[in-house]
Structure formats: structure tokens, C-alpha cells
Chains A and B, each alone.
Chain A
Amino acid sequence: MEHGILLSGTDVDFMIHGVFQYSFFGHPVWITTSHVCILIVILILTGFAIAANRAIAKGSEVPGGFQNVVELIVEKLDGMVDSTMGKAAPRFYNYIGTVFIFILFSNISGLLGLRPPTADYGVTLPLALVTFALIHVNKWKYQKPMTIWEDLCSPLPKWLPIWLPINLISTVAVPVSLSLRLFANVLSGTAMMALIYGLLGWFATAWPAALHVYFDLFSGAIQTYVFCMLTMTYIANEIGDGTRR
């Protein structure tokens, strides 16, 4: 840090750092620590997926050991999707499950000494944009254009679109608030742990583990749940009773 704002905190550091720079059509582009952390997370998850696939491929009627764990995870995730999306649930098992596992593991990767990839706005914004795209694809699939127009003018009748700009802003606010919520929660945990380790020095031994339980495990799991829950609720709202137009 150039300007010593935190006077004693010379090694307070929770920022993203560049690892190496390359030129992309003349633009200088950085590979950052976020990329490295996300690569580690993806490698671990891929390894788990391959192991799970093999366990299921030679699985027995009476599951035991690792197969039990895998079946439990899949059942819980599917149950979560079922309870919010109703009839439309089977089409979203894969997406919600993938996003849930990825965000959860990213959030708790702070325990492994990584900087959580979700504490980078460049990771959470694309996730929220995928949700945004899903919402609108399903909206156009299941609703008549006239209903969509009426929703956009909603408190007033459809021939008086005075509220249209405000409703458009609230549409755009969905991905922004989704991504900022996840990002700021994880970033606040990361910043807090960096401050504790950086400012307290040797005094911060052993007891910050309790804070890790709160900031990494509890907060991370809650925010994962909230992200997936909101995604499912928004999509289920657009699908309605599931009759195509």
C-alpha cells in the first residue's frame, strides 16, 4: 500500500494480485490470483466429480462409503430445487446443483489458504448474468408479449407507461444486487480475516479459527443458499404454472 492508511498494517493484504501479464490483441491483460484460485477450485471439483462418477458406475444396490456421500449430496440438492420450483424442477437440477457446489466450494476455499474466488467481482457478476439470462429466456418462453408489457407498466394500466423506466431499472437491479450481495459478503469476511492476521501479529494464534467458522463456513454456506434460492425463485416466478404460450 502506497499511502499508509492502516499505520501498523504493513502486511495487511486482501487485494487481488497480478501473476503474469500477456498481450491480448494489443491490450495488456493480467492473469491474477483469482484465476489461479479458481483453477485450483475447478481441479478439486473435477477430481471429486471423476471419483463420484467411478463410484456410481460400479455402484451396488446397497450403497456404502463414498457412494453414500455422493447420493446424499445429489438427493439434498435435488430436494432443494424440488421444494422451490415445483413442476419445472427437473430441468434445473443440473444448473442449480453445479452453481451451488461451485459457489460453496469457492466460499469455503478461504479455509485452504486461498483467496476466495467469489471475493472478485469478475466472478460473481457472470454468475448473476447467467441467472439474468435464464430469467429472461424463461419469461419469453412462458409468457405472452402482452403480459410482459403489462408487467412492465404494472401499477398503472397498459396504455399509460409512466412507470416503465422505474420497472426497467428494477429489472436491471436484479443481477447487480445478486452479484454484489455474494461479492460483498465474501469480501467482508476476507477483509476481516486479513485485518486480524495482519494487525494482531503473533497474538492471532489459534483463536481466529472460531472466526473462520463464522466468516468462511457459516456466511459462505448461507450466501450460497441465498444465491441459489433467489435464482430459483426468480425463474419459478417467470415460469408460473408451466403452460407455454
Chain B
Amino acid sequence: MDFNENFILGCSAIGAGLAVIAGIGPGVGQGIAAGHAAAAVGRNPGASGDIRSTMLLGQAVAETTGLYGLLVAILLLFVQPLLP
């Protein structure tokens, strides 16, 4: 089968859009982390500094999977590996 360039570019754009759906997971995860951190500060306001840094560290690690989706999208759009 033989596809022309525009078809491949269009499909790459759709694929990039689909890849960014990976952002849902980290969104949910970071929300859960922030919610629990808020509950923890409510229970023990004195430890808010420690809780904040722990929360930010966990969220930044959880963000990684979403960024993999972003990387795939950027590769599809700008490096265009599927073009012959």
C-alpha cells in the first residue's frame, strides 16, 4: 500500500492528540496526592512544611508518565519519524 505525505502527517497529528490523553492519569494522581496532603495539613498543621515538600516530590514523580505521552506527541509532530 502507498500513502501520500499529507495522509501520514494527518495521522501523526491524530496520534499526537491521542498520546496526550496520557495526561489524564497524572492529573488524577496529583489530585489525589494534593487532597491527601490537604487532609494531612488539617490533621497536623505543624507539619505543613514537610507535607508540602513530600507532596511536591510525589507529584513530580507521578507527572513522569504524562510527560512520556507529551514526548510521544512532540516526536510525532516535530520529528515526524513516520515519513518515508
Contacts and interface: CB of A to CB of B under 8 A. Distances in A.
Chain A bound to chain B: yes
A185 interface: yes
A94 interface: no
A226 B80 CA distance: 31
Main secondary structure of the interface of B (DSSP, over half): helix
Nearest to A191: B74
A188 B60 contact: no
Interface residues of B, number: 18
B64 A5 contact: no
Interface in A25-72: none
B56 A225 contact: yes
B60 A226 contact: yes
A245 interface: no
A222 B60 contact: yes
Nearest to B58: A226
B61 A5 contact: no
Contact of B5 (A3, A181, A222, A223): A3
A185 B13 CA distance: 21
Interface in B53-74: 53, 56-57, 60-61, 63-64, 67-68, 70-71, 74
Interface string A171-199: 00000010011001101100100000000
A42 to B, nearest CB: 26
Nearest to A15: B78
Nearest to B12: A5
B18 to A, nearest CB: 16
Interface string A116-147: 00000000000000000000000000000000
A185 to B, nearest CB: 6
Contact of B61 (A3, A187, A188, A226): A226
B9 interface: yes
A229 interface: yes
A181 B68 CA distance: 8
Contacts of B56: 222, 225-226
B67 A188 contact: yes
A180 B57 contact: no
Contact of A3 (B53, B60, B63, B80): B80
A225 B55 CA distance: 12
B9 A3 contact: yes
19 contacts: A3-B9, A3-B80, A5-B13, A177-B64, A180-B67, A180-B71, A181-B60, A181-B63, A181-B64, A181-B67, A184-B67, A185-B67, A188-B67, A191-B74, A225-B56, A225-B60, A226-B56, A226-B60, A226-B61
Contacts of B53: 225
Given A3-B9, A177-B64, A185-B63, A226 B71 contact: no
A71 B14 CA distance: 53
Contacts of A180: 64, 67-68, 71
Contact of A188 (B5, B70, B80): B70
